[in-house]
Amino acid sequence: MVAARVGSGRTYHSIVGHSSPRPANPAWLVLAGVSATAAGSALAALLFSDAASFEADTNVPWSTFAQAYPTVADQFELAQRSAQLSALAVGLMALAISLYPFRTGQRWAWLVMWLLPLSMLPAALGTALARGDQRLFGVAYVLLALVAAVAIVAARHEFFPLPSSGADEAEEVDEPGADQPTA
């Protein structure tokens, strides 16, 4: 990206407050990987969902359940699809944010990236504590959420630098008459 020079040699980005691309903390790569994994998993569940997990958890064939309770079966499928679409949207959003705004150090991106582990953790814990063949996926998602949280915390100094002591930046300036005793 080429930044246009404005007036006194400052760039447009420095005037409007955009951060310029700089060497980034590798946390953005970790977050991009977690985001892509979450989005890909949600997309796979959305496209290739089958009744096997329902049958494994309930010991009732899906076709029998759907014939006996068609309204409940429709609501169950709708809830499943909605959850999968929500997970896909969060994963894609987090991927897009990690690729540029987070990588370039925009503060709002650091705050928004907390939505990734915070949205993954409740569903992951629920799945990890469930019985059946889905438990392993839940444990994997708990670990992914924790990895994302650690990556965000590790990058905090890129977005919120520690204040300097100021001792090396400012020299002590003597005021005229400061040595004189006051009456």
Q: Give me the number of domains the chain comprises.
A: 1
- The residue with greater pLDDT, 24 or 168, is 24
Q: Is residue 141 part of a domain?
A: yes
Q: Is residue 102 part of a domain?
A: yes
With contact defined as beta carbons under 8 Å apart, do 30 and 148 qualify?
A: yes
Q: Is residue 119 part of a domain?
A: yes
Q: Is residue 48 part of a domain?
A: yes
Q: For residue 64, what pLDDT is reported?
A: 92
Q: Is residue 147 part of a domain?
A: yes
With contact defined as beta carbons under 8 Å apart, do 60 and 51 qualify?
A: no
Q: Is residue 149 part of a domain?
A: yes
Question: Which domain, by its residues, includes 32?
Answer: 27-154
| Conformational region of residue 50, where left means phi above 0, alpha means psi within -120 to 50, and beta covers everything else | beta
Q: Is residue 58 part of a domain?
A: yes
Q: For residue 176, what pLDDT is reported?
A: 58
Question: How much is the pTM?
Answer: 0.70
Nearest-angstrom CA–CA distance, 82 and 94: 18
According to DSSP, the residues that pair with 6 across neighbouring strands are 10
Provide the H-helix boundaries in the chain: 12-16, 27-48, 52-58, 62-68, 70-99, 107-112, 115-129, 135-154, 156-159
- The residue with greater pLDDT, 9 or 145, is 145
pLDDT > 60? residue 85: yes
Average pLDDT rounded to a whole number, residues 77-81: 89
With contact defined as beta carbons under 8 Å apart, do 49 and 84 qualify?
A: yes
Q: Is residue 11 part of a domain?
A: no
pLDDT > 80? residue 105: yes
The residues near 112 (Cβ < 8 Å, ≥ 6 apart) are 97
In the chain, what percentage of residues exceed pLDDT 70?
75
Three-class DSSP category at 142: helix
- The residue with greater pLDDT, 3 or 105, is 105
pLDDT tens for each residue of 110-149: 999 999 999 999 888 887 887 666 778 888 889 999 999 9
Average pLDDT rounded to a whole number, residues 66-81: 91
pLDDT > 90? residue 15: no
